[in-house]
Amino acid sequence: MEEFDFTLKFVLPENDSDPNDYIDALFEAGCDDAALGLGRKGRIALTFAREATSAQAAIDSAISDVNKAIPGVKLSEVSPDLVSATDLAAMLNCTRQNVRKMLERDSAAPYPAYEGTSNLWHLDDMLDWLQPRNKYSLPPGLMEVAATARIFNAHQTIQKYKHPGFKQTNLPWEHLNPYSQFGALEAPSPSFLPI
């Protein structure tokens, strides 16, 4: 078993709900390994440090526990997925300027998923790019969590925006999973799949 760190963000069933109302239910449902982010009404974020055999199993079980505690809750995001240069610098324990220089100097650097005032990259792309450089000590399991978070978020987006004429409710996992050729991640369990 390995410990995986990730954050799940949810929209509460009643948009104006006070997240404080769910603290005891979350603890009783098995979310005692999570720190709760209670900010905006109608939203809740839980940062987990969960032991499991894989990142997917950890995330899937956490989603299941939250669903038990708060029936009707909707998953909005799994992170870490999209990161800025500042986020990446914090993970690597270096400066933002150092990250920007690496990105500017290396033609093999990943393209941002979003270009704007502050560019955003998929963390798994960045870690994959940094891995051969061996300059930075990365937390164990971070690559697996980042890849799994990206896949969960991609699936959420596909389900949210899919064309009403598209009959297939679940796309084949292999098409969403860039790491399937390595056998690193398994097909998602139906418990997290929104229909």
Collapsing DSSP to helix, strand or coil, 193 comes out as: coil
Residues of the chain predicted below pLDDT 70: 15-17, 134, 163-195
Residue 112 per-residue DSSP state:
P
Residue 47's pLDDT is 97
For the entire predicted model, the pTM comes to 0.79
Structure confidence at residue 165 (pLDDT): 57
Supply the pLDDT for residue 164: 63
Beta bridge pairs of residue 3: 51
Give me the domains of the chain, ranges plus CATH numbers: 2-80+142-182 (3.30.70.3400), 82-133 (1.10.10)
> What pLDDT does 121 receive?
97
In this structure, what is the dihedral angle of CA atoms 180, 182, 188, 194, given to the nearest 10 degrees? -40
Burial class, 160, CB count within 10 angstroms (exposed 0-12 / middle 13-18 / buried 19+): exposed
The pLDDT score that the predictor gives to residue 20 is 77
Residues 177, 182, 183, CA angle at the centre, nearest 5°? 75
Q: Distance between CA 116 and CA 54 in Å, rounded?
A: 34
At which residue do the structure tokens 């995986």 appear?
4
Q: What span, in angstroms and rounded, lies between the C-alpha atoms of 177 and 183?
A: 10
Q: What is the pLDDT of residues 68-125, one digit of tens each?
A: 999 999 999 999 999 999 999 999 899 999 999 999 999 999 999 999 999 999 999 9
109: amino acid identity, one letter: A
Q: Enter the tokens of residue 136.
A: 């930075």
Residue 70 has a pLDDT of 93
Q: Residue 7: its pLDDT value, please?
A: 97
**In DSSP terms, which residues pair with 79 in a beta bridge?**
7
